Amino acid sequence: MVSEQAAQVLVASNRGPVSYTLGEDGTLTSGRGGGGLVSGLSAIGPDTNAVWVCAALADGDREAVRRTGGRLDTGDTGGQRVRMLDIPPEVYADAYNGVANSTLWFVHHLLFQTPLEPAFGAEFRAQWASYETYNRAFAEALADEAGDGAAVLIQDYHLALVPGMLRALRPDLRIGLFWHTPWAPVDFYRLLPDDIGRQLLRGILGADRAAFHTHRWADAFTGCCTELLGGTGKTRIGVHGLGADADFLRERAHRPDVDERLAELREQIGEHDGAPRKAIVRVDRTELSKNIVRGMLAYRQLLTERPEWRERVTHVAFAYPSRQDLTVYRDYTARVQEVADAINSEYGTPGWTPVVLHVKDDFARSLASYRLADVALVNPIRDGMNLVAKEIPVLSEGGCALVLSREAGAYEELGEDALVVNPYDVSATAAALHEALTMDTDDRAARTKRLAAAATALPPQRWFLDQLDALRAV
């Protein structure tokens, strides 16, 4: 049954544009999120009847759902209509941690250590049943909220089954899915149980359009569909490489809090022989795919083999904790700290800390590091896009050499003006860091200008509208 306020544009994602904190006195405090989706959805204007469907992530969110029935106060959401789903915590945990982040993420980022994992037994099948339940809750909510012929934009690997489920409930809808991570080559994708691998593909193919950040990921998806199902059927495949929001970044990066962080970082980096030290900057979450440890090992090899850089360069590394409810992520975060400490112990002097490592999330400090970066190190094992690679050239004040993994989605657009590396090759990455540090000033400035232009070619609002226009044209 379609609701009275039936929407014409719907977005569905695991995380919504607002979250709630429950105080000890029972008060609820709302906080608004940011990112490409929030910015993109704002592009359709307030007159468009739109709604965002998302999941309650924590106790505060669940209490907000209990008090509102799930249709949140637009005063909390910046005027955006939001339908929040209170999926049972045990179902959510199985779907989000057991399947989405411990299975699908690992498959598409090629992270499984296959001698030991995966092992798909009874426990996984129970988790998969929760993933189905979680996806069904979204499909039913979207079917309930959508007006006749509405456009529905479903986001990412958490909701892979929703297009097919929603198609069965509401064949009148225009359904699009955007897949934000890489897509695995067919041989690795087939690690999944055969029936589940096919079920995932059929779920996605319930959409009128399935879109990806790069042609490489789109081609890999098509290859899996061809190998396992015989083709993609009527589903159209699109590519929309999300770009950096230059206007927002430049305005936000020059607020007083960022200026304060910039002064603090410059003090931490310090000077050598009267000149500011060079800064190799990386900003990541401690996700296994980000390859932070190998990046630090490459920096250590640079200091070992090129002693002329000792005391003349500092590695500014921000490794913000991610998914710390999973043991493997906690272990990886600890390993990052251990390697940084070892480098500082081996090479540090009273006036020089080789690695300035920060693990507490601080957006203003990240923007400050972008402004002072001489070299940006972005070396993921595999990444759907990687916006850091696009954001640093936009904000770097002195010109920035980009050392970029060929396995980042951003490579498709930025590879020509970056120093491209194999993310597993520590020696080659060390050599690329040396090349970046010694790059001619004019060459670096010209590359930075071209990188910034490519990075901002499809800003979030245009990225969202392009998908919406393509979906409506189906």
Supply the pLDDT for residue 4. 55
Supply the pLDDT for residue 326. 74
Asked whether the domain spanning 246-455 has the same topology as the one spanning 7-242+462-472, the reply is yes
Instruction: Please tell me the distance from the alpha carbon of residue 302 to that of residue 300, in angstroms, as a whole number.
Output: 5
- The tokens describing 417, both together, are 């003006």
Alpha helix segments (H runs only) across 146-193: 162-169, 186-189
pLDDT in tens, the chain (474 residues): 445 579 999 999 999 999 999 999 989 999 887 666 777 777 776 677 899 999 999 999 999 999 999 999 888 887 889 999 999 999 999 999 999 999 999 999 999 999 999 999 999 999 999 999 999 999 999 999 999 999 999 999 999 999 999 999 999 999 999 999 999 999 999 999 999 999 999 999 999 999 999 999 999 999 999 999 999 999 999 999 999 999 999 999 999 999 999 999 999 999 999 999 999 999 999 889 999 999 999 999 999 999 999 999 999 999 988 777 778 888 899 999 999 999 999 999 999 999 999 988 899 999 999 999 999 999 999 999 999 999 999 999 999 999 999 999 999 999 999 999 999 999 999 999 999 999 999 999 999 999 999 999 999 999 999 999 999 998
**Distant-in-sequence contacts of 246-251, Cβ < 8 A, 24+ apart:** 246/394, 246/452, 246/455, 246/456, 246/459, 247/459, 248/39, 249/367, 249/370, 249/391, 249/394, 249/395, 250/394, 250/395
DSSP 445: H
* Homologous superfamily of the 7-242+462-472 domain (CATH): Glycogen Phosphorylase B; (3.40.50.2000)
The pTM for the full model equals 0.94
- The tokens describing 46, both together, are 């307030």
Does the domain at 246-455 match CATH 3.40.50.10470? Answer given as: no
Q: How many CB atoms lie within 10 A of CB 394?
A: 21
Q: Find the helix or strand (DSSP H, E) in which 137 lies.
A: helix 122-145
SS (H, E, C) 74-115: CCCCCCCCEEEECCCHHHHHHHHHHHHHHHHHHHHCCCCCCC
Residue that is written with structure tokens 């690329």 in the block: 432
Q: At what angle do helices 194-204 and 162-169 cross, to 10 degrees?
A: 60
- Structural domain spans, the chain: 7-242+462-472, 246-455
R_g of the chain computed on alpha carbons: 23
